[in-house]
Amino acid sequence: MKYLIKLKHWQAFMIYALGLLLHILFLKVDLKFGIITSLELSGAFAIITLIFFFLWVLAIGLFVNNITENPYKFRNGLLVFAVLCSTIGYANLNLERVGLTGEIIPEWISMILTLLTLFGIIYTFYNVSKSFKSIEINRKATFSEYILDAILLFAFPIGVWFIQPRLNRIYYKEKQRTN
């Protein structure tokens, strides 16, 4: 997980951009690779990119929450559950678009998963952004102070350019402090 924290902003962006580009490319073409269609490949690239995105957010959350001087703490286990719910919920949406959801996930589970995804998104972006901002300002952040960070985290392709350099500064400051 620390590898995701140490990435430069352009590296994280390139990983995401490559996944998104492959997703869009395979979505627009009509190819078949044996029994696999380009639409299925598009869904697979979307899910892989989504997993990278949520692992990045999870890595940020776990890292800043485990800094001892952080004035705002939350439960790591609940964050992992929230990220898992969000990832599975968004993956389910991609599977629905491909048309495989009825074969993989029953409809009643999809309905419950929608509520869990909503919980996961709210919990994840609220706590990670508040904890991230709190470590920067050395006190519990107020809503007006961390709302922009929550939006930047959620708007990943754009937000990575602003969040990742700040995260790198926090990481290297914490690394110097512990050494």
Confidence of residue 139 (pLDDT cuts 50, 70, 90): very high
Q: Which pLDDT does position 4 carry in this prediction? A: 82
Asked if 157 contacts 17 with a C-beta cutoff of 8 angstroms, the reply is yes
38 band by pLDDT with thresholds 50, 70 and 90? confident
pLDDT at 132 over 90: yes
Going by pLDDT thresholds of 50, 70 and 90, the confidence category of residue 100 is low
Residue whose C-alpha is closest to residue 164's, from 152, 147, 146 = 152
Decide: helix, strand or coil at residue 138: coil
Q: What is the pLDDT of residues 141-156, one digit of tens each?
A: 999 999 999 999 988 7
DSSP code of residue 29? S
The residue segments making up the domain with residue 79 are 2-178
What single string gives the DSSP state of each residue in 62-104?
Answer: HHHHT-TT-S----HHHHHHHHHHHHHHHHHHHHHHHT-HHHH
Entry pTM: 0.87
Number of domains in the chain: 1
CA angle, 159 then 134 then 72, to 5°: 120
CB atoms within 10 A of CB 30: 9
- What is the average per-residue pLDDT within 53-78? 92
Cα dist from 104 to 37, 98, 132, 177, whole Å: 17, 12, 36, 48
